[in-house]
Amino acid sequence: MIQVSNLSFSYYGSERAVLNKINISVKKGEIVLIVGHSGSGKSTLLRAINGLIPHQHGGEYSGEVIVDGMKVSESSMSNLATKVGYIFQNPENQIFMFSVERDIAFGLENLGVAQEEMRERVDWALELLQIKHLALRAPHELSDGQKQRVAIAGVIAMKPKILILDEPTSLLDPFTAKTLVELVKNLRSTLGITVLIVEHRLDLVAKICDRIVVMDKGGIVLSGSPKEVLSDPNVSVHGVTEPTIVKLAKSLSLGGSNIPVDPEELRDSLGQIRTNRVS
């Protein structure tokens, strides 16, 4: 679904490359979590996948990004918008109409979708995101969690094959953030959509992703399953805040390369230790 080959990029006026020979491929239906220090190139990589780079943000660009068979540097933003949906860190950056349903319809209007189909897609997205009761509400009346759902609904209504989320829980309280993460998991299950997430709350996201990619100084330094990456003894050096469960498991020398990443796995590991000691 996504193939990035030898991608390097530096913004005009910058003395260093923000991305340095990035190579990564993402399969259809994968949930990939991208983590690392602030300034490591995470958000820039996302922008290169959805076309904001090089079409909106200029700079020195080399390499190749292919999304569902389309070469990003040679494709229009309107064509890319049918493939890749982007959710910004602050949902207020992408909801600005007078009502929720008009906000969801905005992208479809720009794509020239027929009126009858537009109505069907808006109703479908409202139902899927469980916000039908908010259809006529003004966005400024909504909570942060509701605004995030509206932003996602507006993107999902365009039926992209790839969903990109850049720090989606940063403005949310823990309960709402957990609800959003479960929503993303359900969207993958329901729609078979491919998901890329930049997120620092690994306690929430590690258990739903298929792969973690760690970036540092514009390059990829670690990539693998959550267990593989989080069991690496040097993972925290690259700006990764280990989930509390992982820290506890490491302090108890549990799991090794099969380290627990959620409470249920930790419980099972402790139960196995107890069983072994009894036997």
Q: Residue 40: pLDDT band by 50, 70, 90 thresholds?
A: very high
Q: What percent of the chain has pLDDT over 70?
A: 97
Quick one: pLDDT at residue 45?
A: 96
Domains within the chain, CATH numbers bracketed: 2-226 (3.40.50.300)
Quick one: pLDDT at residue 275?
A: 67
pLDDT for 171-225, tens place per residue?
Answer: 888 888 888 899 999 999 999 999 999 998 898 899 899 999 999 999 999 999 9
Sheet of 162-166, strands arranged across: 84-87, 162-166, 194-198, 31-36, 211-216, 219-224
Quick one: pLDDT at residue 161?
A: 94
* Separation CA 65–CA 5 (nearest Å): 6
> DSSP H helical segments within the chain, as ranges?
42-50, 52-55, 77-81, 100-110, 115-128, 144-156, 174-191, 202-205, 226-230, 244-251, 263-278
- Dihedral of CA 11/13/18/20: which sign? positive
Give yes or no for a cis peptide into 160 (omega within 30° of 0): no
* pLDDT of 260 over the 90 cut: no
* Separation CA 268–CA 261 (nearest Å): 11
161 contacts 70 by C-beta, under 8 angstroms: no
Q: What percent of the chain has pLDDT over 90?
A: 62
* pLDDT of 277 over the 70 cut: no
Segment 24-51 shows an average pLDDT of 95
Q: Which of 240, 213, 198 is nearest to 87 (CA)?
A: 198
pLDDT for 104-148, tens place per residue?
Answer: 999 999 889 999 999 999 999 999 999 999 999 998 899 988 999
Look over the chain and give the mean of its residue pLDDT values, rounded to a whole number. Answer: 90
Q: Model pTM?
A: 0.89
Tell me phi and psi for residue 201, to 5 degrees. Answer: -85, 75
